[in-house]
Amino acid sequence: MANFTMNEKILRRNQTLLWSAVGLGILFVLYILSPVLTPFMMALALAYILSPGVRYLERILIPRWLAVFIMVTLLIAIFLGILLVVIPLLRRELNLVIEQLPNWIALYNLNWAPRIDRWLGVDSQLDTAHIRSMIQDALTGTDSLFNTFVSYLQSSAPTLIFMVVSAFLVPVLLIYLLLDWEKFISSFRELIPRRFLVPTVRLLQDIDTLLASFLRGQISVMLILAFYYSMGLTIAGFDSAIPIGVLTGMLVFIPYLGFMLGLLLAIFSSLLQFDGYYGLIAVGIVFGFGQVLEGMFLTPKIMGNRIGLHPLFIILAIFAFGKIFGFFGVLLAIPMSAALSVVIRRIYAKYRSSSFYTND
């Protein structure tokens, strides 16, 4: 009997090691194929976000296919709405920068170039005519922007084709995933070994609770900050207050990058619209208070610090997921890190209670 029990334990251990090796192999293959799998991962993430909305519409007696159509259409409308805010704003700011560039160069030559000459002993004067000539050569010369753009398209054709295909592929994959979401969940449950079913389901439920809390809190923070930045810049007298404010609030979900993009747009807008330092001071006050509002009130009160990730870990996650999945990985860095943190905490708790740790 003892030998039978020992053999059974050895068999289970060998099976665990075998399937662990298989799992690691699958993860390695997924890493190798990560560029190809990016649209599938994006569709999977969007399906996870939209599936509660589909279930809610089903509960009010809307057919599932129609509920999926409504949710996907709403998502596309939000995405197009953001583009309609961003593209005109960037085009307007770029045109104003080009118009104001000679004035900025003249101010630099008058106020800053003499100081740099005294401090560093170098001639830092900028020649407007020379810069204009360089721009003209870039536009019409042998190394024109058009030729450079054509060369870039030729060298990056596979990447561009993949991006275009992905843009059309993601909505199709999203529709299929949402239509059969419950079937996918049931099939995944059937793959879990029965002796691991209960702890695995509990772990997934904890991850789902954490991600749901994060998404609800993040959306609330985005809306509040979009309203705050729009109102703050409007009171300060910015012509582009609402587009910059809405864009800054909506991009808060991209850690650090979203805030920095909004800040840069606000600085450019202040330089183009206001004389002196009023615009820069207003931007500093609005965005500085916005950071205090987000970091000391909104995030702790609304999101409750449930994720509990250290800023260094967040930065590492941004670079790691960005390296694997590109820009889409940057967007998923925090929620994926939060999900991994649940797994790591479980593993750490098991380690602390194991005989390997407690025994001398």
pLDDT at res. 306 = 54
Condensed to tens digits (0 to 9), the pLDDT of residues 48-73 reads 888 888 888 888 888 988 998 999 99
The rounded distance, in Å, linking the Cα atoms of 94 and 216 is: 35
Residue 130: predicted pLDDT: 65
DSSP summary character for residue 111: I
Written as one letter, the residue type at 87 is I
Locate 281 and state its tokens.
Answer: 């001071």
Dihedral of CA 142/145/150/153: which sign?
A: positive
Q: What's the DSSP call for residue 252?
A: G
Listed as ranges, residues in the chain with pLDDT below 50 are 139, 142-145, 153
* DSSP label of 256: T
Give the model's pLDDT for residue 315. 72
**Average pLDDT, whole number, for the chain?**
75
Measure the CA–CA gap between 319 and 323, rounded to whole angstroms. Answer: 6
Output the pLDDT for position 33.
Answer: 67
- The confidence score (pLDDT) of residue 11 equals 66
Q: What's the pLDDT at 337? A: 77
Using alpha carbons only, give the angle 344, 201, 332 rounded to the nearest 5 degrees. Answer: 50
pLDDT given for residue 97 in this prediction: 67
The radius of gyration of the chain's CA atoms, rounded to the nearest angstrom, is: 27
CA distances from 48 to 138, 206, 215, 273, 302 (A): 47, 15, 11, 43, 21
Q: What is the pLDDT of residue 183?
A: 86
* Angle between helical axes of 64-107 and 241-250 (0-180°, round to 10): 120
Question: pTM for the whole thing?
Answer: 0.66
Spatial CA neighbour of 307 closest among 297, 315, 299:
299
Cβ atoms of residues 174 and 43 within 8 Å? yes
How many Å from the N-terminal Cα to the C-terminal Cα in the chain? 30
* pLDDT tens per residue, range 131-149: 666 655 554 554 444 555 5
